[in-house]
Amino acid sequence: MQTYLKLFQEKAQAASAEVHCCTSKHEALIAILQFLRDENIADCPGSYAVWADDEFRRDLDCEALAAEIPGLHFKVTKELAAQAKVGISQFDWAIADTGTLVVDSSAVDQRLVSSLPPIHVALIQRSKLLPNLATTIGKIGSAHVGYLSMITGPSRTADIERVLTIGVHGPSRLVIFFFDDAEGGAQ
């Protein structure tokens, strides 16, 4: 697993993603909140943060968090997402040898938070790392996912004079937080 994480990190960074590793879910939450503060999230258009419904946030006290970080919204609408600076969502799998994140994004909020805001914060359990695309597709197989998203780095283009430019229609930053499964994983 450790070698997959290292490989993922290398490949994702090569694709201009930022990768952070947290030893526990709690540590990840603290890191995310700090990240939101650093990005000056506020309750005004252009400065919102929107968090899609996912496992990570389900046992959190969302109301308290929203009170702690004004502008952090847990009910995602198109209007909020379009005016958000940061979108947050959890992923189902990660592919080590390409640095790719994979998620069932049939729920529309998953897609809004990962495509409209300029910064996308992606959460992923370390145990969800898979070696490659073949094992990932094998795992998903006939799971009948309505909208499967595979994301590798931020949005990019090279359409003008082949000059690589980050952040066209999607986010210009993809910030990935890995966290360990068990609470308080590493002491």
Partner 1 sequence: MTTAFKESIKTALENDNLASTLGRFSEAYKVARTKAYEGIDFEALRNTIAEVKSFAASHQEELAEEFARNAEARGAKVFRANSPEAVKDYILNLCKEKAVRTIVKSKSMATEEIHLNASLQEHGIEVTETDLGEWILQLAGQRPSHMVMPAIHMRKEEVADIFSKEIEERLSSDIPRLVKVARAELREKFLAADMGITGANIAVAETGSIVLVTNEGNARLVTTLPKIHVAVVGLEKLVAKSEEIVPILTALPRSATNQLMTSYVSTITGAVPNLDGSPKELHIILMDNRRTEMAEDPKFKQALQCIRCASCLNVCPVFRLVGGHVFGKVYTGGIGTILTAWFDALKQSDEIQSLCIQCGNCSEVCPAKIDIPGLILELRRRLAVEQGQPMVQKAIFAVVNNRRAFHSLLRAASLAQLPFAREGFIRHLPLFLSDLTNSRSLPAVAERPFRDTIKEIKQPKCKEKAAFYAGCLVDFVYPEMGAAVVKILNKAGIEVIFPEKQTCCGAPARYSGAYEVAGQNARDNVDALLEEEVQYVVSACPTCTVALKEEFIHTFESLGQSEPIERARILAAKTFDFSSLVNKLVHDGRLKFKTDQHPGQVTYHDSCHLKRTLHAEKEPRELLTNAGYEITEMFEHDMCCGMGGSYTIKMPEISAPILKRKLNNIKATGAPMVAVDCPGCVMQIRGGLDKDRSPITVEHTAQRILEMLE
Residues in touch with partner 1 (CB under 8 A) = 11, 14-15, 77-78, 82, 95, 97-100, 106-108, 111-112, 114-116, 133-134, 137-138, 141-142, 144-163, 165, 167-171
Residues 6+ apart with CB under 8 A from 108: none
Local structure of 52: helix, strand or coil:
coil
Nearer to partner 1, 33 or 150 (CB): 150
Q: Smallest distance from the beta carbon of 117 to partner 1, in angstroms? A: 11
Nearer to partner 1, 40 or 146 (CB): 146
Nearer to partner 1, 23 or 104 (CB): 104
Nearer to partner 1, 105 or 125 (CB): 105
Q: Smallest distance from the beta carbon of 186 to partner 1, in angstroms? A: 30
Q: Smallest distance from the beta carbon of 146 to partner 1, in angstroms? A: 4
Whole-number Cα distances in Å, 98 to 88, 105, 129, 151 = 22, 20, 11, 10
How far apart CA 158 and CA 17 sit, in angstroms, is 17
The residue to which tokens 């994140």 are assigned: 101
Nearer to partner 1, 17 or 29 (CB): 17
Local structure of 17: helix, strand or coil:
coil
Q: Smallest distance from the beta carbon of 176 to partner 1, in angstroms? A: 14
- Report whether 41 contacts 80 (CB < 8 A): no
How far apart CA 141 and CA 182 sit, in angstroms, is 27
Local structure of 67: helix, strand or coil:
helix
Q: Smallest distance from the beta carbon of 162 to partner 1, in angstroms? A: 6
- Report whether 185 contacts 23 (CB < 8 A): yes
